[in-house]
Chains A and B, each alone.
Chain A
Amino acid sequence: MGTAAYVQVLDLACGGLLLCAVLVLWRRELAVIIRVFAAQGVILAVLVAVLAAHQHSPELAVLALGLGVLRGGVLPWLLARALTAAGPARRETRPLVNVAASLLAAAVLALLSYAVSRPLVALIPSPATEAIPVGLTVVLIGFFVLVTRRRALSQLVGFLLMDNGITTVGFLTSANAGLVVELGVSLDVLLAVLVLRILTARIQETFGDADLDELRELHD
């Protein structure tokens, strides 16, 4: 792959990641949100595949395949199953911040991450590291979704967005944190989602609905 094509595909993939994060903020139907999340997982895998082709690294190529299966397939499937189990409540009805304000917040978060990541880009300037702010923006948007949504499933998607963003930053920065660590991280994410999935089911069992506003037994 020529350098120009590499840079183009890289930037395109990063743009796609950002677009998916913003779409999650914009849409309210949980089914759509899960589909957008799956698309983001696939784009993340493409990004890693591009890096693998550029660095001629078979290890990275394997990781790209694994990421695609996990984030584009397994995790969205788990979320979708949780959604079917949830019954009729399939919309994020009352987010704490309305959609227009959320989109404005996303713009502010993007500016913030560009400001914060300047030293990161300056350390080793390259097409890959110049995309770090995009990864950070996805992390921050994920955090924003996590704190402003009321449905258990949307919070879960927020957590996973954060995780996609962190993975993006990881691969853009150095891609070689060690295969053991990479495997451990993926396994942990999978397990965390399984745990949360089970807890979502239990919340529905005991509270009747997965609206987290119902969670107010414990406070001071």
Chain B
Amino acid sequence: MPEIMSGMLLVPIGVPVLAACGYGLAGWRRGTVWLAAVSSGLVLAAAITIAVTVARFGPASAVGGLLRTDALSAFMLIVIGAIALLATAATPAYLAAEITAGRASARTAARHSLLVGLFVAAMATAVQAANLGVLWVAIEATTIVTAFLVGQRRTRAAVEAAWKYVVICSTGIALALLGTLILNYAATAAGRPGLDLVELTAAAHSLDRPVTRIAVVLLILGFGTKVGLVPMHAWLPDAHSQAPAPVSALMSGVLLSVAFYAVLRVKAISDAALGSGFAKAVLLVMALGALAVAATLLLAQRDYKRMLAYHSIEHMGLLALGGAVGSRLAVAAVLLHILGHGLAKAVLFLAAGRILQATGTSQVNQVHGLAGRDPALAGCVGLGVVALLGFPPFSLFASELGMFRAGVTAGLGPLILAALVLVLVITAALFAHSAHMLLGDPPSARREGPGAATAPTNGPSPTNGPSPATTITTATTSMGRTPASTISVLVAGLVTCAVLGMAAGPLQPLLYLAADTMTADTIAATP
């Protein structure tokens, strides 16, 4: 069994790399269009197999101990596989529309798919890394690969977003490297040099406390940058709004959570070395900061892709809140939230990409009456927003409830109340914006009405592309129906999210098993 398993662990990394090679060699043509989606399907299948095996036989390792997969890693692999499948299945239709519109060529499409393959492989490596150093390298690798994806459109805004993204994330992750080195120093002083996550947790009680404290702050701040937590969140709305839609879906749906996974691993070490209070305090500050930033900036947001990006900051804040609480229920809820948020956010970003292609604008106040023009797409967006805001039957309802309940049980009542108020503000803002986009008359009817004269005044600056008036004209003419493949991807994502909310089913034991890897280590290592 172990030999087969160690080979199995390589599948989620190897298959996307092979797909990337396929695009590198064959380019973007009829035969390779669905290659990325097939490889993502294989990643998901391998992830499920690994999860079942790990749940039955315990953690497995490969490549001379550099990779190690326990229940938490296996769960994250499932998240990566599921959202990569959604994003890559929607990619062919997205790229076909871009090529038709002349914004991309077959070469861009091939490069896009190559980079996405490497991106998925880097994330799969990150969640399976047995070693804090390998984890660091994998997360930095995701920054490098996605930088080109963010700047793919080569417009002023896209180049600016890519620059900010690389500079801020590389700087943040450099802090994490400093933290890693200092932690290694503390482990050396304790007589157990090395960065193996399991060994670090086991040796945690013998680590020097002041030194470990410095290391943990640097690590949480550093990986927190990639999560989009305050104070290093400035890159997130820019990068997520400028990246092509399938990449935004992947970045917002999984990349943030993969970075949060790193924070969880650091927290396990910190809890064992310093007691649970320290990492909890750091995470609580960052969580409430993220919620406050998201709430204030969402209220006046005029760009719907940026709106979704700020909404990701909110959800990362909620994850940090649940992580800070840290009980078994809280961690299980955090993990379910990661999957639910990933699915809902991927659906919304893919839909937003479609709206942008159809209307040519990313401004909320220029998209009107979507429900009348493209009911299927509008229905998906509406349900996606409902899911994202945490209404039943979607799984985000269950996970948010679980996190808040665990928080109140842990005696964090006032902080949870503050978080709830902020979430309420965000809910109201998102509702207002999306109602504006979905409902109302289509612009063709508006132009004859009295609203026509006021519409252009709120438009973007002239540098942003065609003037608002022409935008509206093109919006009415080019708004075709969304391709069936895109709609089916969106519906599949929403249905999965709803099913998870009603019955977590076989996932539930895995969630608790994964939560135990976070909490059991701590209990075992606490003297």
Cross-chain contact B178 with A188 (CB below 8 angstroms): no
Closest Cβ–Cβ distance, residue B2 to chain A (whole Å): 22
Query: How far apart sit A159 and B175, CA to CA, in the bound complex (Å)?
Result: 11
The chain B residue with its CB closest to the CB of A218 is: B238
- Contacts A173-B182, A196-B163, A199-B166 known; list 7 others, CB within 8 Å: A159-B167, A170-B177, A176-B193, A184-B137, A199-B151, A202-B151, A218-B161
Partner of B140, one of A176, A188, A220: A188
Q: List residues of chain A with CB within 8 A of the CB of B170.
A: 159, 192
Please state if B157 and A169 are interface contacts (CB–CB under 8 Å): no
With known contacts A120-B185, A174-B184, A220-B301, A166–B140 Cβ distance under 8 A? no
B185 touches A173 (CB 8 A): yes
Chain B contacts for A124, CB-based, 8 A: 185, 188-189
> How many whole Å from A140's CB to the nearest CB in chain B?
11
* Residues B151-189 near A (CB distance < 8 A): 151, 154-157, 159-164, 166-167, 170-171, 174, 177-178, 180-182, 184-186, 188-189
Q: Give complex CA distance A195, B145 in Å.
A: 9
| A185 within 8 A of partner (CB) | yes
A36 interfacial by beta-carbon distance below 8 Å: no
Alpha-carbon distance A173/B242, docked complex (angstroms): 41
Residues of B within 8 A of A (CB): 66, 131, 133-134, 136-137, 140-141, 143-144, 147-148, 151, 154-157, 159-164, 166-167, 170-171, 174, 177-178, 180-182, 184-186, 188-189, 193-195, 208, 210-211, 214, 237-238, 241-242, 297, 300-301, 306, 463
Please determine whether A139 and B237 come into contact, CB atoms closer than 8 angstroms.
no
A170, closest chain B residue (CB): B181
CB distance from A189 to the nearest CB of B (A): 9
Taking a contact as CB atoms closer than 8 A, the residue among B155, B167, B237 that contacts A196 in the complex is: B167
Q: Is the CB of A199 within 8 A of B163?
A: yes
Report how far A183 CA is from B137 CA in the complex, Å.
10
Known: A220-B237, A220-B297. A192 touches B134 (CB 8 A): no
Q: Are B163 and A180 in contact (CB under 8 A)?
A: no
Most buried by B among A116, A119, A177, A178: A177
C-alpha gap A158/B136 in the complex (Å): 21
Asked if A174 and B66 make an inter-chain contact with CB atoms under 8 angstroms apart, the answer reads: no
Given contacts A173-B182, A195-B148, contact A123 B208 (CB under 8 A): yes
- Does A206 interact with chain B (Cβ within 8 Å)? yes
Known: A120-B185, A123-B211, A166-B178. A191 touches B171 (CB 8 A): no
Q: Do A185 and B137 form a contact, CB below 8 Å, given A119-B214, A123-B186, A162-B171?
A: yes
Interface hits, A72-129 → B, CB 8 Å: 116, 119-120, 123-124
Q: Work out how many contacts link A and B, with CB atoms closer than 8 A.
A: 137
Partner of A218, one of B160, B195, B208, B211: B160
Indicate whether A181 sits within 8 Å of B301 (C-beta atoms), given known contacts A119-B214, A162-B174, A173-B181. Answer: no
Instruction: Give the distance to chain A from B231, nearest Cβ to Cβ, in Å.
Output: 12
Q: Which residues of B contact A181 (CB under 8 A)?
A: 131, 133-134, 136-137, 195
21 A–B contact pairs at CB < 8 A? A119-B208, A123-B186, A123-B189, A146-B167, A155-B167, A163-B174, A166-B181, A174-B188, A174-B193, A176-B193, A180-B134, A185-B133, A188-B137, A188-B141, A191-B141, A192-B166, A199-B147, A202-B162, A206-B159, A215-B164, A218-B164
- Annotate A28-52 by CB proximity to B: 1 below 8 A, 0 otherwise: 0000000000000000000000000
- Chain A residues in 8 Å Cβ range of B189: 123-124
Q: Is the CB of A177 within 8 A of B166?
A: no
Residues of B near A191 (CB, < 8 A) are 141, 144
- Docked pose: A215 CA to B162 CA in angstroms: 11
A6 at the interface (CB under 8 A from B): no
From residue B27, how far is it (CB to closest CB) to chain A in Å? 21
- A196-220 contacts to B (CB < 8 Å): 196, 199, 202-203, 206-207, 212, 215, 217-218, 220
